[in-house]
Amino acid sequence: MIDHLSTYTVAFETAQRFYDLALAPLGYGRTASLVATWDAEFPNRRMCAYGPENQRVLWLIEVKDQATPRHVAFRAPTRKAVQAFFDAALLAGGKDNGGPGVREQYHPTYFGAFVLDPDGNNVEAVTHHGAE
């Protein structure tokens, strides 16, 4: 089981706003914020973490140059939560990369939505439950 993972951004404040809004419908909030003063090459590097109930599941880390885009999928409790994630992510400046819907190529009840964050990362919300 994964404990935590990281994604990177060249526009920290923009990305932080995106994740603040996009992850809220899934029960994720910002659970930590810090500056990497120990990094001699980038001592003002900002970082923050997101997760449920003070857990640090996703770290957002500032970089000077564009990082390789990643894909991360967050489990949603319901199809309505997937839709709420998608709507919030678009309002937060995300780009549609596949609206809410069943993806039968994965399995018959795979219901997901995909959004590109400000750095081009593919962020998904998914539930494996049937229709509500």
Query: pLDDT per residue over 115-128, tens digit each?
Result: 999 999 999 999 99
pLDDT in tens, 32-80: 999 999 989 899 999 999 999 889 999 999 999 877 889 999 999 999 9
Question: What radius of gyration do the chain's Cα atoms show?
Answer: 15
> Number of C-alpha atoms within 13 angstroms, CB side, residue 47?
19
- Beta pairing partners, 123: 72, 115
Question: For position 66, what pLDDT does the model report?
Answer: 78
CATH top class, domain 5-127? alpha beta
5 contacts 59 by C-beta, under 8 angstroms: yes
Residue 120's contacts (CB-CB under 8 Å, 6 or more residues apart) are: 69
Give the residue-averaged pLDDT of 4-30: 96
Domain positions in the chain: 5-127
